[in-house]
Amino acid sequence: MKHQLTGNEEFTLRGTSAGITVMDFWHWAFSDLIDNTQRGVMAEFLVHSSLNQSPSPDTQARENWLPFDVTSPSGRRIEVKSAAYVQAWTPENMFAQIRFDIGKKLAWDNATATSATVAKRNCDLYVFCLFTAKTKGISLLDLDYWDFYVLPTSVLDKNVPDQKGIALSSLLKLEPVKTDYTGLGAVIESIRL
């Protein structure tokens, strides 16, 4: 079981402090939250935290090689996808088309160090996280600007079985449950699979 770092851990050189910490690394590497990679991981964190799974030193750290992103307290396997109108590389007042990856994937098995031979959607449900701000002046930390759409994987498998991506307009036609952050955990645990 991986443990969570506090950020105070120090890099060492020849057995003594090198004068830099894990927090220094985090500040340098992960401060640009609008970047697609960091935003995606942050969306996973928001889903995780909405399930009242507060991060603490005793909580298991995020695992990169699972075939899904988050597990709910009841055991639901959740795939988290994020999108935003404003991207790190777009000029102000230019908005990205909202599209989510829903393609089938080959699951990796850590125990055998092999991948599955058949691609599939390896989760019970999807949470599509949309940062709705249309200006770079609004922080991704402002949860008032996040919408969450929860959809059982079975709906995707039935309606768009081989589709690799889905636009927001097409997603809405599948009638996902829309919620804000405060209702997200309850929706995840109560949505009929």
114 lies in some domain: yes
Q: State the residue range of the domain holding 43.
A: 33-190
- Please report whether residue 17 resides in a domain: no
5 occurs within a structural domain: no
Task: Spell out the SS3 assignment of the chain.
Answer: CCCCCCCCCEEEECCEEEEEEHHHHHHHHHCCCCCHHHHHHHHHHHHHHHCCCCCCCCCCCCCCCCCCCEECCCCCEEEEEEEECCCCCCCCCCCCCCEEECCCECCEECCCCEECCCCECCCCEEEEEEECCCCCCCCCCCHHHEEEEEEEHHHHHHHCCCCCEEEHHHHHHCCCEEECHHHHHHHHHHCCC
Instruction: Specify the pLDDT at position 54.
Output: 57
pLDDT of residue 61: 66
Please indicate, yes or no, if residue 19 is contained in any of the structural domains: no
Q: Is residue 78, in this structure, part of any structural domain at all?
A: yes
Positions in the chain short of pLDDT 50: 57
Q: What is the pLDDT of residue 35?
A: 82
CATH number at residue 37: 3.40.1350
Question: What is the pLDDT, as a whole number, of residue 57?
Answer: 47
pLDDT of residue 151: 98
For residue 130, is it within any domain?
yes
Amino acid of residue 5: L
Residue 11 resides in a domain? no
Q: What pLDDT does 111 receive?
A: 75
Contact between 137 and 158 under an 8 Å Cβ cutoff? The reply is no
- Strand 125-131 and strand 77-84: pairing? parallel
Q: What is the CA radius of gyration of the chain?
A: 18
The pLDDT of residue 186 is 97
Domain presence at residue 119? yes
- Count of structural domains within the chain: 1
Per-residue pLDDT at 56: 52
pLDDT (0 to 100) of residue 36: 81
